[in-house]
Amino acid sequence: MKKILYVDDARSLRKLADQVLREHYELTFAENGLEGLQAVEKQKFDVILSDINMPIMTGLEFLEKLREHPNGKYTPTLMLTTEASQEMKEEGKRLGATGWIVKPFNPTKLISAIERVS
């Protein structure tokens, strides 16, 4: 079973992701980028999903640090966020984001995106 790390400070979205993804994937959750990095230090994931706007460490800061870590350097990372501006997407791409999904997400499309990149 593929291992997914989902980083998001919104408990409601972590719960929704759990309901949508748990039967397909082994899930690990983190509430901010720092917790996400700590999870990556402990194990490798097949795909990482991350929000952008979070306390302590934002999704873009997390992405930048992730790409410096051996366990995350090449891990497909989808930004799952309300941020939809072209500038933000370009910054994410520059930092190594594999893809961009705007919330609210369609469960079927999310699973399809995960399968496409993993």
pLDDT along the chain (118 residues), means of 10: 97 93 96 97 97 95 96 96 90 95 90 95
Parse the chain into domains and list their residue ranges.
3-117
According to CATH, what is the number of the domain 3-117? 3.40.50.2300
pLDDT of residue 105: 86
pLDDT (tens digit per residue) in 78-98: 999 888 899 999 999 999 999
Q: How many Cβ atoms are within 10 Å of 9's Cβ, its own excluded?
A: 18
Sort 71 into a burial class: Cβ within 10 Å, 0-12 / 13-18 / 19+.
middle
Each residue's pLDDT tens digit, 55-65: 999 999 999 99
